[in-house]
Amino acid sequence: MNVNKNPPQLGRPVAIPESPDQAVLDRVPNPHKGTLYVTRFTAPEFTSLCPVTGQPDFAHLVIDYVPGDWLVESKSLKLYLQSFRNHGAFHEDCTVAIAKRLVNEIEPSWLRIGGYWFPRGGIPIDVFWQTGAPPEGLWLPDQGVAPYRGRG
């Protein structure tokens, strides 16, 4: 984790990391420390690989967090998420691992993730995780992703 005010990945070309473990998440100080607000990242084209077949899996991820002392720098988050493109893991593992890594790196006051996965074998798998109850008084919008309906 880089704790610099000027993240080293920002403003220069950076290759997509080979794996999530090799990805570096940069963090920057929260300029509104002590203010209750939500930051949302949406990744509607998240891709990973099925660990059994090696076929691509696709998801729409929505990450909401209440910053503490730190913010995650968005370019580093984008590169981290892209590092899953060649990573084999089940939907549940990808979704929860992303959330736990963010919690470990930026120590938010609260975080939730919704992993809305496209069907595999005819069954959509949605995965949800959060650190606990949202802080009292927090305005928390719906994640805005409709449940999968197929052609029905």
Catalytic residues: 50, 57
Q: What angle do CA 25, 10, 91 make, to 5 degrees?
A: 35
Q: How many Cα atoms within 13 Å fall on the side-chain side of residue 19? A: 5
Reading the block at residue 3, the tokens are 């704790």
- In contact, 148 and 116? CB cutoff 8 Å: yes
On the 0-12 / 13-18 / 19+ scale of CB atoms within 10 A, 16 is middle
Exposure b/e, 45-57, CB count within 10 A at least 16 = b: ebbbbeeeeeeeb
